[in-house]
Amino acid sequence: MPILLSLLAAVAYGLSDFNGGIFSRRGGAWAVSLVAQIAGASLVLLLTLVTDGSPTRGDLAWALVAGLGNGFGTAFLYRGLSSGRMGVVAPVSAVGSVLVPVVVGVTTGERPAQLVWLGILLAVPAIWLVSREPTDGAAPGGSGLLDGVLAGLGFGTLFAALAQIPEEAGFLPLALNQVVAGVAIVAVAMALRRDWVPRNRYALGGIASGALGALATGAFMVATQGGYLTVTSVVTSLYPAFTVLLAATVLREHIHRAQAVGLALCACAVALVAAG
């Protein structure tokens, strides 16, 4: 079940990013992202009305940490993408989101089977290849590399912090995570002097991304409550593969050779993790 929930999270994250990418072109990346966080938080708050849960102060503290990681990861990802270094920012941030929770999981005593470790080792280059876009040959560096590292640390912190929240806490910590993420996005946008205010109907496209993102984050949180963080985080972080597949099938975008290799490695990684 943890593997299936992690795959659900990966699919939902991939759909969320695909939808957000389309609407961000006209609605503004910061505005769409903010609307997504507000929509996701609202939906999860409604969910808390019909489900049980008794979060402790510690659970809410972990949710706060997760929200900060979520917000700052999103903010620096968008800043890096807006600089035109997508081929650097996207893969660096994606790999970072895997390494942080894997390190945390191993440090806290998780010891997956050897077959699972092989899947994890395959997943890292797979995520890099799938996320990477062809570049003009410019050396990867500057703010693009820094933003990718910061975004990866942010998303990795999100995954690692959510994994510390037990099942009996319910979904209120998840809602808090999304609210804090929205505040963090606004704070970073204001510091960078970016326009974060939704100004047209295209920004409302973030509602769908928020619903999908909330589903993904919730599925991941539940998956970590029944499985290893090292495993669930790796499977969930394969979400760029689904974004690429959607772009290829819906928008008819070309899948370049490196991405095709990455997709094949993603499939192998999931198979090995599941078999282990």
- Residue 139: give the domain boundaries: 2-275
- Between 184-188, 190-194, 245-249, the lowest mean confidence (pLDDT) is in 245-249
Show the CA angle centred on residue 60, arms to residues 12 and 96, nearest 5°. 45
| Secondary structure, 3-state, the chain | CHHHHHHHHHHHHHHHHHHHHHHHHHHCHHHHHHHHHHHHHHHHHHHHHCCCCCCCHHHHHHHHHHHHHHHHHHHHHHHHHHCCCHHHHHHHHHHHHHHHHHHHHHHCCCCCCHHHHHHHHHHHHHHHHHHCCCCCCCCCCHHHHHHHHHHHHHHHHHHHHHCCCCHHHCCHHHHHHHHHHHHHHHHHHHHCCCCCCCCCHHHHHHHHHHHHHHHHHHHHHHHHHHCCHHHHHHHHCCHHHHHHHHHHHHCCCCCCHHHHHHHHHHHHHHHHHHHC
Residue 143 banded pLDDT, cuts 50, 70, 90:
low
The total number of structural domains in the chain stands at 1
How far is Cα 6 from Cα 164, in angstroms, rounded to an integer?
16
| Amino acid found at 205 | G
Mean pLDDT score, 65-88: 76
- Between 84-88, 205-209, 232-236, the lowest mean confidence (pLDDT) is in 84-88
Q: What is the pLDDT of residue 183?
A: 92
Q: What is the pLDDT of residue 276?
A: 63
Mean pLDDT score, 30-51: 88
Query: Over pLDDT 70: what percentage of the chain?
Result: 92
pLDDT at 167 over 70: yes
